[in-house]
């Protein structure tokens, strides 16, 4: 037999411990981390499908639309490309354009809008608001924030304007969620942006 402190005995003991640990089932925490599936990337897929439906146009045309169309929404800017939604005569047109190389997208959009302020509605002036807060304002539950006009736009965006001139935009959680809150309001003018 080997003495208690011999290297061989120590190695055998270490090997036994390693085998025992390897045979033990994983702890619940480790097991959960391996078994819990990742959420599917549905938002990214839906987002890609949505933007695939935009008509590709030249930057010159997009710049003209930015300058002249009143009812316009900048959907998104990414990778040097701009996505726009235009609302003309009750119909919607979705376009996308590649901004000229070397030009910053946001700056190019700002320049186009600045060219004719009177004809362009800059929706960026609206402060973003959570729907719960917007609904509370519509119900008159927010002190000092009395809504005097509401503008409802496509894609479920609701625009609020208060008697103090503050302007907010919120996204409805479901289609027509703002309907019951808007109807029957005394002194409330509904303005479609």
Q: Is residue 12 part of a domain?
A: no
Q: Residue 170: which CATH number?
A: 3.30.720.210
Q: Is residue 19 part of a domain?
A: no
Among residues 70, 91, 124, which one ends one of the domains?
Answer: 124
Q: What interhelical angle do 105-114 and 59-68 show, nearest 10?
A: 50
Q: Is residue 70 part of a domain?
A: yes
| pTM (two decimals) | 0.40
- Please state the domain count of the chain: 2
Whether 135 and 179 map to the same domain: the answer is: yes
Give per-residue pLDDT as tens, 119-137: 334 455 677 788 888 899 9
Give per-residue pLDDT as tens, 147-170: 888 877 655 678 888 888 788 888
More confident residue, 113 or 143: 143
| Ordered DSSP codes for 57-113 | E-HHHHHHHHHH-SSEEEEEEETTEEEEEEEETTEEEEEEEEPPTTS-HHHHHHHHH
Q: Which domain holds residue 77?
A: 53-124
Q: Which residue has the tokens 């119909």?
A: 91
C-alpha dist (Å) from residue 56 to 11, 23, 69, 95, 102: 70, 60, 17, 6, 20
Q: Is residue 114 part of a domain?
A: yes
Q: Is residue 73 part of a domain?
A: yes
Whether 145 and 117 map to the same domain: the answer is: no
């Amino acid at each position: 037999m080997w003495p208690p402190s011999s290297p061989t005995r120590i190695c055998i003991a270490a090997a036994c411990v390693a085998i025992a640990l390897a045979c033990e089932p994983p702890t619940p925490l480790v097991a959960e981390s391996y078994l819990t599936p990742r959420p599917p990337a549905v938002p990214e897929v839906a987002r890609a499908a949505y933007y695939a439906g935009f008509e590709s146009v030249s930057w010159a045309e997009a710049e003209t639309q930015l300058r002249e169309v009143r009812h316009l929404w900048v959907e998104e800017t990414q990778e040097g490309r701009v996505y726009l939604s235009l609302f003309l005569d009750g119909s919607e047109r979705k376009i996308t354009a590649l901004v000229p190389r070397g030009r910053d997208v946001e700056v190019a959009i700002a320049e186009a809008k600045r060219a004719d302020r009177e004809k362009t509605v800059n929706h960026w002036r609206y402060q973003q608001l959570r729907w719960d807060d917007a609904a509370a304002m519509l119900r008159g539950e927010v002190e000092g924030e009395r809504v005097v006009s509401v503008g409802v736009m496509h894609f479920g965006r609701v625009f609020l304007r208060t008697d103090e001139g503050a302007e907010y935009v919120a996204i409805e959680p479901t289609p027509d969620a703002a309907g019951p809150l808007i109807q029957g309001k005394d002194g409330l003018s509904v303005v479609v942006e």
